[in-house]
Structure 1
């Protein structure tokens, strides 16, 4: 993994070509922050595994991003991205996609083609609708959509294979009971939203596999969860998981 300053990307890419594995391009301050995805990386399309361009001022992820068939990790946190090109779907070996702290509003349907994806992190963007078409991501472990503008969790959430879904700090007031049908879901985070106690599907407590259900900072006191049918059943799962990792 090479740490590359934006003033010397070309020369460092030449060195990285000898190893052809991973490259980290770091910001070196507001004066010289990278404004675009470096064209020099195209020389490494055949073997590049990891790209980290966090903390820059990149506004556009080019369509050529689809030219990196071996890429396993793509991180562009804290940039100025407003979207994701559909060509992202060509990255068949991608396991981690982290685009936290950008300005993304919508996701391309081709995200559902990333069959190897394990972590999809989109915290701190401007996404207003729960993304659709992610049920095909059979390897997905973590879906992080915290700090966005999502208002409801729709029925199709049941298609997700994620082990953890983080929806903290959105504007959610409605959660479909279908969330309890997520086959692998163990952790569901809904802190600091707009949920009433009556908006909490009891099936999450009674029928799901969720063993950590976090709802602090909503429009009710957390201790009132105890009044819901199935709370004891949920606590059994919570306690069993806690003991397992103690």
Structure 2
């Protein structure tokens, strides 16, 4: 097997191959033949999936300087060396199905990188600094970060499925070129409220995050995957909470009944406040003696006039969070145009778990 491997690499070097396939070779170490002499200067694509590699050589970029795609799917890689940041032409890096527990920030120095695949690892978090797109360029303490920020500005596809992530760095929402984000099968309980605010981000997949019960309303008109998220709740009937302001009593949404239970999460305070304020403000339009609009900031007034969406079940306004419900539909002639699928689906958006449970396309 060793002689066959050496022969394959020697032929690739002699004939100046641009693609080299070393999949299924039972490799436990990175082949030294690849790093011999000047390496493979012409090589652009290296496929090494389904081996037993545990690490990568420090001189990888020096010996393979023209790599555009590097596929390391299904190995046992625990650590990626800092030197990987020197692969300046790398556009696609696949580290799926390895044993990574952290993402080395040097990956961020890959300015040409468009596809980053980290699915099926042991990641518990993504370093916030890695996604920082607004560094303090004058600060020395942040200067080391600046070397790899240019890369993340141009990420288009990020896949981190089936890891152990429990939160999403907020700066990830601000990447101007990110088109597709897949974080299915993690431990997410919430998403940043402005995820989806970027027009470029069109595809978000968070399927099978069982603790995730709501989506930011900026995802309202995006293509989303959210099956297997959340679970139906049963909350015993208790007296609705409310607060009074002068002669009026304002009731809070029904989710407040779930406070303290292990089955549901309370809506963000901002959402509760905005919904209550929305109804209160519209009450003012009927009763000029209550809550003068002059007391509210202009930006807040504009948001109250135009919520980001309304519940399909009860038309309740939604400002920061929605509850999606997927309805598979019958086959249609046009459905086959969508990535070979033969069925299409309708996603309903609800304002609460109660509306989510009771909404039906026929209702």
Query: Normalising TM by the smaller chain, what interval?
Result: 0.7 to 0.9
Correspondent of 2:49 among 12, 15, 26: 26
Correspondent of 2:130 among 104, 110, 123: 110
Tell me the CA shift for residue 42 of structure 1.
3.1
Q: Distance in 1 between matches of 2:228 and 2:39?
A: 44
1:193 corresponds to 2:229: yes
Tell me the CA shift for residue 96 of structure 1.
0.3
Post-superposition Cα deviations, 1:179-216, rounded to whole Å, max 9, x if no partner, equal: 33xxxx630111101156988x9548799xx996658x
Match of 1:145 in 2: 183
Q: Distance in 1 between matches of 2:104 and 2:67?
A: 19
1:97 corresponds to 2:116: yes
Match of 1:226 in 2: 361
Bigger radius of gyration among the two: 2
Post-superposition Cα deviations, 1:11-38, rounded to whole Å, max 9, x if no partner, equal: 245596142312122333xxxx111123
Decide which moves more: 110-119 or 2-11.
2-11
Q: Residue 118 of structure 2 contacts residue 160 of structure 2 at CA under 8 Å; is this kept in 1?
A: yes
Equivalent pairs counted in the alignment come to 214
Correspondent of 1:177 among 213, 217, 235: 217
Q: Distance in 2 between matches of 1:151 and 1:50?
A: 33
Q: Over aligned residue pairs, what C-alpha RMSD do you find?
A: 3.3
Match of 1:122 in 2: 160
Q: Distance in 1 between matches of 2:231 and 2:158?
A: 24
Q: Which runs of 5+ in 1 are unaligned?
A: 229-246
Change over 3 Å in CA distance of 1:24–1:34 after alignment to 2: same
Correspondent of 1:85 among 89, 104, 116: 104
Tell me the CA shift for residue 117 of structure 1.
1.3
Q: Residue 75 of structure 2 contacts residue 97 of structure 2 at CA under 8 Å; is this kept in 1?
A: yes
Q: Residue 88 of structure 1 contacts residue 111 of structure 1 at CA under 8 Å; is this kept in 2?
A: no
Q: Residue 82 of structure 1 contacts residue 105 of structure 1 at CA under 8 Å; is this kept in 2?
A: yes
Match of 1:61 in 2: 80
Q: Residue 83 of structure 1 contacts residue 107 of structure 1 at CA under 8 Å; is this kept in 2?
A: yes
